Amino acid sequence: MGEQTTLRSSRLGRMAAFAGTGARVGMNYLKHYGQRCVGAPQDENLLHERNAEAVYKTFSELKGGPLKLAQMLSIDQGLLPDAYASRFAQAQYSAPPLSYPLVARTFRREMGKSPLEIFDSFSETAAHGASIGQVHKAVKDGRAFAVKVQYPGVAESLRSDLRIVKPVALQILGVRESDVEDYFREVEERLLEETDYKLELQRSQELSAASSHLDGVSFPRYFPELSCRRILTMEWIEGLALDRFAKGSANSEERDRIGQALWDFYEFQIHTLRFFHADPHPGNFLVRDGGLVVLDFGCAKKIEPEFYRRHFRFLDERLLDDRDALLSSLEDLSILLPGDTDAYRSRIAGLCAESIEILARPFRKGFFDFSNPTFMRSIYDLGERNRRDENLRGFRGRRGSPDSIYVNRAYFGLYSLLHTIGARVHTRLPDWLRES
């Protein structure tokens, strides 16, 4: 059995590990959540490729909470150099297996019965690892189930990990805690939500019912009577992980179909439901019979109407020709604050215009080829330039809305998934941005 050998579990051990590499990561992490438009001081060598290895190693040794953070970073390909992004993207496959006796104990404690009293068979070793739990395959009455079991103590260690990462990150960044407090709170809340499988069950059922009409998208069935806080039971899906599909031999028609399903799914959630699956990494999708199966609604986010209107104004390319409208939209989102100097205002306006131009490209012609590498390249470059921009360093104030973290994350994730698949998709701006 390939069970874990060394695990630093004490608070002190984690602390030590973080002091080394965590600082770097904390910074990148904050960078994203500290708003795309807002640059911050950054030591160039910290982002050197060979650090990716070290950072990755620390995270995967610590498991649990930090691994989750690493995954959030991996989604943020627009801001992380390729070396980091691809390392972290692998993180979801490398969590440590729980022993079967501990799985059985969790069952007995949470459900009052051992796995074999509930199922006809139950795989002793996990079929898949995940960042905060593992998935077992079980059979009952000839039906196959995927049973997700959470590691003990995850919620607790997550809290202490964040407490450790925070001051280190703040100090290196030279940001005041009060300026980014909202961002930390938002991330902490979402991460903690993910440790509650009851909530995940409820959301999975809601979101899959609401999206059931979509073409080419399906969901596993969930079984509330076989689930609880630490155990989540759903139908077993025999499919191909999305990254394998992307690397495999699928033809362009098949790729386009999966890509379109993915696009439609996100478009419907974000613009119609206003409640979305905020974790678009390749481990959360399977391809079965040419269709897309969506797993894992642990991280889901609601979009309030007020924020929706303010945020998605930026998809409107007409802002590019209307400077006053652009500035007032930036004020609405409090990316610009009343006290900002004119020089600063025009700097930010310029940056935002640039990012609107890039991020709205897929919508422009109603059809977009994501396999085109220049598009992803320009997203990376934009992030890279913002990061290095001297002028953006060191300004203060609470800026932007923490609600944008997960919306941005979803879009970055979506764009880069579509790119890896190499899909061409039909796109459409929401109606309210097309008219008037």
Partner 1 sequence: METREKILHAFREQVARHSELPASVIALCEPLGMSERDFYNEFGSLEALESAFWEELVAKTIAAVESGAEWEGFDARQRMLAFLYAFLEKSLDVRTVLLFRFRHLSPVASPEWLQGMERRFKGWAFSLIGKGVSNGEIAGRGRLVVLYPSALYLLLRSVIDFHVKDTSPRFERSDAYVEKSVNLAFDLMRTQAIDSAFDLLRFLAPRACGKS
Ligand X SMILES: Nc1ncnc2c1ncn2[C@@H]1O[C@H](COP(=O)(O)OP(=O)(O)OP(=O)(O)O)[C@@H](O)[C@H]1O
What residue ranges bind partner 1 (CB under 8 A)? 1, 3-5, 7, 9, 98-102, 104-105, 108-109, 114, 116-117, 124, 151-153, 156
Q: 283 contacts which partner out of partner 1, ligand X, none, CB within 5 to 8 A by kind?
A: ligand X
Residue carrying the six token digits 């060598």:
45
Residues 227 to 286 in contact with ligand X, rule: CB under 6 A = 234-237, 241, 283-284
From the list 45-53, 114-122, 252-260, 292-300, the region that binds ligand X by CB under 6 A is 292-300
Smallest distance from partner 1 to CB 107, Å: 11
Smallest distance from ligand X to CB 19, Å: 26
Residue carrying the six token digits 């260690």:
157
Q: Which is nearer to ligand X, 237 or 273 (CB)?
A: 237
* By the rule CB under 6 A, 37 interacts with ligand X: no
Smallest distance from ligand X to CB 225, Å: 17
Q: 4 contacts which partner out of partner 1, ligand X, none, CB within 5 to 8 A by kind?
A: partner 1
Taking CB under 6 A as the criterion, the residue among 22, 39, 298, 402 binding ligand X is: 298
CA-based Rg of the chain, rounded to a whole angstrom?
Answer: 22
Smallest distance from ligand X to CB 276, Å: 15
Smallest distance from partner 1 to CB 230, Å: 9
Smallest distance from ligand X to CB 297, Å: 9
* By the rule CB under 6 A, 295 interacts with ligand X: yes
Q: Which long-range contacts (CB under 8 A, 24 or more apart) does 32-35 make?
A: 32/72, 32/73, 32/76, 32/79, 32/405, 32/408, 32/409, 33/180, 33/183, 33/184, 33/186, 33/187, 33/402, 33/405, 34/173, 34/175, 34/180, 34/183, 35/335, 35/399, 35/400, 35/404
Element (H, E) at 181: helix 177-193
* By the rule CB under 6 A, 106 interacts with ligand X: no
DSSP secondary structure of 82-95 = HHHHHHHHGGGG-P
Q: Which is nearer to partner 1, 95 or 292 (CB)?
A: 95
Q: What are phi and psi of 280, to 5 degrees?
A: -80, 70
* By the rule CB under 6 A, 130 interacts with ligand X: yes
Distance CA 64, CA 13 (A): 14
Helix (H, G, I), strand (E, B) or coil at 35: coil
Distance CA 37, CA 10 (A): 37
Query: Chain-centre distance of CA 407, in angstroms?
Result: 9
Q: Which is nearer to ligand X, 210 or 240 (CB)?
A: 240
* By the rule CB under 6 A, 170 interacts with ligand X: no
* By the rule CB under 6 A, 69 interacts with ligand X: no
Buried b (16+ CB within 10 A) or exposed e, 344-353: eeebbbebbb
For residue 64 the two structure tokens come to 């649990």
The binding site for ligand X (CB under 6 A) comprises 92, 128, 130-133, 135, 146, 148, 220, 234-237, 241, 283-284, 295-296, 298
